């Protein structure tokens, strides 16, 4: 691959991560604000819709990983998924019933389940394993920059046109991601490398199997449980903050929610860059532990004040925790499945487990709020997060070899597919 092609591929991956940032995470707290403001839904119903969508994504995460492992049309899969998300966003302002909202959000969640394994596979297939750490850090850096930009636009547009503007913004981002993926050179993707295949270890090219990897790889199984607990604690926190902001001042709810997201994403950008630059030298586990300990602290701090600016300030801590986790998760999975040819299906299986946590999080939080209030919900989530930290500390070993990181493909000293 020549230097010009490498540069184009890297820039295309940057653009893909930037534009898919808002699309990968779904409408999330913006949907909660819209349903609360426009249709007067109660928190339990909002939580139930988000739980249903989460379960839909949950059921498709592992098959999505297996699909990415098997297909040689990874770019086309991303395009189709982005178009489905676009359609789901554009139709949402015209529907109001629980059934239709749940259906459209479920379809969007199903389509979105392919993005994480597809981006990881394309990145690994282009850069090779030696440069994957830096590429993953770069992916997450652009992902968080995209989230920050989208949140700023969402806040401004919703201030001018109401919460409905967020749906059209997300549709635009999905279409832009289609343009970005079209500039990735299909011939630059080594599909064996992209699935973590090592001919020296597995010359038979076995079909990938996420279930067998999880059942026979104890560190991977424990790590999956940690991921599930992390997201069980984390997923509901920002929607809960959004609902509290709505109760304080409905007109400021969406702009302040955008401020929460922007604050966290701006912190995630340097955190993701740091992980990409130092995870090979420092190891994965110290950085993971640092990210995990932030979450219970954040849950406790939310209960100390209802001041909107305090809530926004506490959200800054999410940038450390989620920023580290997002960049490190694919690295740990790659380490634990290296050579098996089952990287993406294992990534999908891990995503299934933390998707289960995320799906249950909003429903659990909604029930606790109904019975005991918002403070009890935040403290419950903080306790779950503390359990995830302890399990990670005691049960997951260091997976990275502390070596000098390779230079990323597209920069001097790198070779694609190395």
Tens of pLDDT, residue by residue over 291-305, are 899 999 998 998 888
pTM score: 0.75
Compute the mean pLDDT over every residue in the chain, rounded to the nearest whole number.
79
Least confident residue range of 1-10, 89-98, 227-236: 1-10
Query: Where is average pLDDT lowest: 102-111, 144-153, 189-198, 209-218?
Result: 209-218
Tell me phi and psi for residue 303, to 5 degrees. Answer: -85, -10
Interatomic CA distance for residues 256 and 140, integer angstroms: 24
215 CB-contact burial (10 Å; exposed 0-12 / middle 13-18 / buried 19+): exposed
Q: Collapsing DSSP states into helix, strand and coil, what is residue 75?
A: helix
Give the number of C-alpha atoms closer than 13 A to the C-alpha of residue 322, restricted to the C-beta side.
26
Q: Which residue has the higher pLDDT, 124 or 206?
A: 124
Question: Among positive and negative, which fits the CA dihedral 398, 401, 402, 404?
Answer: negative
Q: What CATH number should be reported for the domain whose range is 3-187+209-395?
A: 1.20.1250.20
Stretch 51-74: mean pLDDT: 84
Ranking 261-270, 317-326, 339-348, 364-373 by mean pLDDT, the lowest is 339-348
- pLDDT given at position 2: 59
CA distance 144 to 175: 18
Cα(417)–Cα(399) distance, integer angstroms: 21
One-character DSSP codes across 197-258: B-TTT-TT-PPP-HHHHHHH-HHHHHHHHHHHHHHHHHTTHHHHHHHHHHHH-HHHHHHHHH
Tell me the per-residue pLDDT of 389-417, one tens digit each, with 9 for 90 and over: 999 998 888 877 644 333 333 433 333 33
List CB contacts of 287: < 8 A, sequence separation 6 or more: 274, 275, 278, 279, 324, 328
pLDDT of residue 300: 92
Q: For residue 340, list its beta bridge partners.
A: 197
Does residue 210 surpass a pLDDT of 80? no
Q: Within 13 Å and on the Cβ side, how many CA atoms surround 398?
A: 11
Candidate from 22-31, 60-69, 166-175, 226-235 with smallest mean pLDDT: 22-31
| Concatenated DSSP letters of 122-150 | HHHHHH-GGGHHHHHHHHHHHHHHHHHHH
**How would residue 20 be classed by pLDDT, with cut points 50, 70 and 90?**
confident
Reduced to 3 states (helix: H, G, I; strand: E, B; else coil), residue 340 is strand
**3-class SS of residue 261:** helix
Half-sphere exposure of 50 (CA within 13 A, CB side): 33
pLDDT tens per residue, range 77-97: 999 998 888 888 788 778 878
The sign of the dihedral angle between the CA atoms of 272, 274, 276, 279 is: negative
- What mean pLDDT do residues 150-167 have? 78
pLDDT at 293: 92
Secondary structure class of 341 (helix, strand, coil): coil
Contact assessment for residue 49 and residue 98, using Cβ atoms and an 8 Å cutoff: yes
| Chain centroid to CA 196 | 21
Lowest mean pLDDT among 38-47, 57-66, 89-98, 173-182: 38-47
**Rg, C-alpha atoms of the chain:** 20
Q: Which of 66-80, 272-286, 316-330, 335-349 has the lowest mean pLDDT?
A: 335-349
């Amino acid at each position: 691959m020549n230097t010009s092609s490498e540069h184009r591929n890297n820039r295309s991956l940057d653009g893909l991560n930037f534009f898919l940032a808002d699309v990968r995470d779904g409408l999330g707290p913006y949907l909660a604000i819209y349903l609360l403001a426009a249709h007067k839904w109660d928190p339990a119903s909002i939580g139930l819709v988000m739980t249903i969508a989460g379960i839909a994504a949950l059921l498709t995460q592992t098959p999505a990983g297996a699909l990415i492992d098997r297909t040689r049309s990874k770019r086309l899969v991303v395009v189709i998924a982005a178009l489905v998300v676009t359609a789901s966003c554009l139709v949402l302002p015209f529907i109001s019933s629980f059934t239709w909202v749940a259906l459209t959000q479920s379809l969007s969640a199903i389509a979105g389940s392919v993005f994480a394994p597809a981006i990881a596979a394309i990145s690994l297939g282009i850069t090779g394993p030696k440069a994957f750490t830096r590429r993953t850090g770069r992916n997450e850096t652009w992902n968080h920059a995209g989230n920050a930009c989208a949140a700023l636009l969402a806040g401004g547009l919703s201030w001018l046109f109401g919460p409905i503007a967020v749906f059209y913004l997300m549709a635009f981002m999905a279409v832009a991601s289609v343009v970005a993926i079209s500039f990735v050179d299909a011939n630059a993707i080594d599909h064996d490398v992209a699935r973590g295949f090592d001919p020296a270890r597995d010359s038979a090219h076995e079909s990938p199997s996420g279930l067998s990897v999880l059942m026979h790889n104890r560190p991977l199984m424990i790590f999956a449980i940690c991921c599930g607990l992390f997201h069980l604690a984390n997923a509901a926190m920002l929607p809960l903050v959004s609902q509290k902001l709505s109760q304080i001042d409905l007109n400021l709810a969406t702009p302040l929610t955008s401020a929460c997201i922007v604050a966290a994403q701006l912190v995630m950008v340097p955190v993701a860059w740091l992980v990409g630059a130092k995870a090979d030298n420092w190891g994965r586990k110290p950085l993971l532990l640092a990210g995990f300990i932030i979450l219970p602290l954040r849950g406790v701090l939310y209960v100390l004040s209802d001041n909107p600016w305090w809530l926004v300030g506490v959200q800054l801590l999410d940038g450390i925790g989620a920023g580290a986790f997002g960049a490190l998760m694919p690295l740990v999975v790659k380490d634990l499945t290296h050579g098996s040819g089952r990287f993406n299906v294992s990534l999908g299986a891990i995503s299934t487990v933390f998707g289960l946590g995320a799906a249950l999080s909003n429903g659990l939080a909604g029930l606790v709020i109904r019975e005991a209030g918002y403070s009890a919900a935040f403290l419950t989530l903080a306790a779950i997060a503390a359990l995830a930290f302890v399990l990670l500390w005691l049960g997951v070993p260091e997976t990275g070899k502390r070596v000098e990181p390779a230079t990323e493909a597209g920069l001097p000293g790198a070779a694609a597919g190395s």
